Structure 1
Amino acid sequence: MKNKILYAIISLFFIPSIILAFRGYDEKNTAEKIWLEVDWPAKKSNYYIEIDSEGRFMAKEEKNKKIFIREGQIKKMYAKDFFRETKNSEIVTRQNPDESKTLFYNGETLKISTYINGELRRAEAPMKNFSDSFKFAFSEMKKEIFKTPSQNKYSAFLTAIPLTGKLLGDFESKGSRVEDLKIIEIKKLKSQTKIFEAVNFPYRLIPLKNDEEISEISDFIHKESLPGMKSLFYIATTRGNFQCSVIEPR
């Protein structure tokens, strides 16, 4: 009996979190992309991978306090296998709005995002919880990607995270109110292509090639009077509210 209770308590920490009912602006171009982050605190390992159904990828790895960027294309069969296993994964597709995190867990954790039937799925769970076929497809894809030599050709990355849960609490604790955020309409949002892409693909890392692209984001923030600065700013759209950041590789 004690073992069952302990198992139930531990299980609460391993429930994947999923964003429900978020639909991107451009459903035609959201269908065949997967982006993910793997964090392994015990081994001080962290890396990000995004890949499309044709095998085109971008990977960002943090190792020994250095950043390594890899970009290219692997054989389509590796991407195809991984897409199949992701779309068939109960962890990814399960309709469970619980946002419990992997508390006290120091192993390998996967945070994975993709659009399924036009809706964004975002799951976070220990890698060991995924099926053997998923882990095999992931491992084969990763091995092919990490064969590519690194080339740090980007100045920074832009990311947008839905302003919900703890982020919303932090935002409001500063005396800010969501109601005060000015909604940026789709036409104006599309004029800043990088921000548009970021809010269309929450949690994804959008590459910024040079200082000019970074400056254009700063100019948009100033022009639209968005709260914050390029390192951390907030934006309201017709698809929801987001916390955005420009992350510069160290």
Structure 2
Amino acid sequence: MKRAVLLAALVACAAALAAFRPYNQGARSKTVWMTVSSIATGQEYYLEVSQDGSALLREETAKTLVTRRGKIAPQLVKDFFREIESSEIVNSQNVKQSKMVFYRGDMLKLSAYISGELTRTVAPLNNFGEAFSYAFGEVKKAAASMPKQAGLAAFLRAEPVEGEELDSFRAKAAREGEVKNIETYDIQKVKPLLAAIKEPHRLVPLETEAVRRELQDYISSRQLYGLRTLFYLPSTRGTFKCMVLDVVRVQAATAPKKPAAAPKKKR
């Protein structure tokens, strides 16, 4: 009897540990993801690269949305990773807001594993130095030549909710009932959702419409606050704002044009 209880405890422990493993086993040391946004124009793009050359580029403007996914030269990524790991800004995590007050250039928001810890760096792109900018530019240029993505349903992104935003969410959600934290073992039933909260700000692919529907069903069944494309997830790992993002721009349906009236015959 004791052996059975001990075995059950070990199985439960193993399941709990599995729930906290990275979605991508090599993600801690092999992948970085970043968003570059222009303060002046409001446009932004997302870039993700791995040491094996796998890359993802999602560029969005007011009129267009293009997603590319494929492979680039691993040496370019290796050079870029070297610049990230040696960057004083990334390692110090000390971004002085005073230097950003009048800045109107591109802002870089970069997530990377440094010494085994997931870090988030937000700073003007031109603050990273010439060598970093060159390596980054080469990676971006190579990614821009990859083929456009087809057949992908959507992306899921999770962002931590903290401070005043968290207080606001709790106040609004409380009007509809008690806000309960969802356990990790329950969230892992939808693998992309668990992946998104483990690695915030990263675009997690929803590969098929079936996966998207699975996520939508989970949102409904757990009565999560928000919509199907923007919802909040209170969990034992923290509270997250989750967004379902398009892969391409969805064109609004337009009414068919009426045929031109026939010209009147002259009498």
TM-score, normalised with respect to structure 2: 0.75
Alignment partner, residue 244 of structure 2? 246
Q: Deviations over 1:1-45 (max 9, x none)?
A: xxxxxxxxxxxxxxxxxxxxxxx9325433121000111243554
Alignment partner, residue 51 of structure 1? 49
Distance 2:184 2:167 in 1: 26
Alignment partner, residue 227 of structure 2? 229
Distance 1:235 1:202 in 2: 13
**CA RMSD, 1 decimal:** 2.7
Alignment partner, residue 76 of structure 1? 74
Distance 2:96 2:200 in 1: 18
Alignment partner, residue 140 of structure 2? 142
Alignment partner, residue 27 of structure 2? 30
Instruction: State the AA in 1 paired with 2:118.
Output: L
- Tell me: CA distance 1:169–1:236, structure 2 relative to 1, closer, same or farther (3 Å): closer
- Tell me: CA distance 1:176–1:114, structure 2 relative to 1, closer, same or farther (3 Å): farther
Instruction: State the AA in 1 paired with 2:136.
Output: F
Alignment partner, residue 204 of structure 1? 202
Unaligned runs of 5+ in 2: 1-18, 250-267
Residue 158 of structure 1: how far off its partner (Å): 0.8
Residue 64 of structure 1: how far off its partner (Å): 5.6
Alignment partner, residue 11 of structure 1? none
Instruction: State the AA in 2 paired with 1:94.
Output: S
| 8 Å CA contact retained: 1:35, 1:51 | yes
Alignment partner, residue 112 of structure 1? 110
Q: Deviations over 1:125-172 (max 9, x none)?
A: 111100211111101111111111323432321110001135324424
Alignment partner, residue 192 of structure 1? 190
Of the two structures, which has the highest relative contact order with CA contacts closer than 8 Å and spacing of 6 or more?
1
Question: Which of 133, 153, 156 is the matching residue for 1:155?
Answer: 153
SS of 1:149 mapped into structure 2: coil
| 8 Å CA contact retained: 2:71, 2:146 | no
Distance 1:102 1:229 in 2: 34
Alignment partner, residue 167 of structure 1? 165
Unaligned runs of 5+ in 1: 1-23
Larger radius of gyration: 2
Instruction: State the AA in 1 paired with 2:27.
Output: T
Instruction: State the AA in 1 paired with 2:133.
Output: K
SS of 2:223 mapped into structure 1: coil
Matched, 1:42 2:6: no
Residue 72 of structure 1: how far off its partner (Å): 0.7
Instruction: State the AA in 1 paired with 2:192.
Output: K
Distance 1:139 1:212 in 2: 36
SS of 1:174 mapped into structure 2: helix
Alignment partner, residue 60 of structure 1? 58
Alignment partner, residue 4 of structure 1? none
TM-score, normalised with respect to structure 1: 0.80
State the percentage of identical aligned residues. 38
Instruction: State the AA in 1 paired with 2:139.
Output: M
Distance 1:113 1:61 in 2: 18
SS of 1:114 mapped into structure 2: strand
Distance 1:67 1:48 in 2: 11
Alignment partner, residue 5 of structure 1? none
Distance 2:53 2:158 in 1: 24
**Runs of 4+ residues over 6 Å off in structure 1:** 97-101
